Amino acid sequence: MPCPKGVNIPMCFAAYNTSFAHGWYQGMHQYITASGAMVGEARFASDCVKCGACLEKCPQHVQIPSELTSVKRRLQIPGLPALVRLGVKLMSR
């Protein structure tokens, strides 16, 4: 953190870990919440452009861009960003 694209990296990893520890559904719920979807500014793991700005800031030396790909594969169902944008639009009416 901070990611130039606004991805909440720690929360993405927390949701990913939760999906294994407490089940996929719980992890998905945490992922959507962590993305900022509830406030209309969603940023998902798929928003990572692999710029590497996070690499030098990571105290654990995690290969964040490649690990975010794993988060995306596990938690980001196809079309999720579009569904979230639609939901936010409908809720703001």
Q: What is the pLDDT of residues 39-91, one digit of tens each?
A: 778 899 999 999 999 998 899 999 999 999 999 999 999 998 888 888 878 87
pTM, 2 dp: 0.87
Q: Are 45 and 75 in contact (CB under 8 A)?
A: yes
Helix (H, G, I), strand (E, B) or coil at 60: coil
Structure tokens at 75: 């938690």
Widest distance between CA atoms in the chain: 44
Q: Are 3 and 57 in contact (CB under 8 A)?
A: no
CB count, 10 Å around CB of 87? 15
pLDDT tens readout for residues 7-20: 999 999 999 999 99
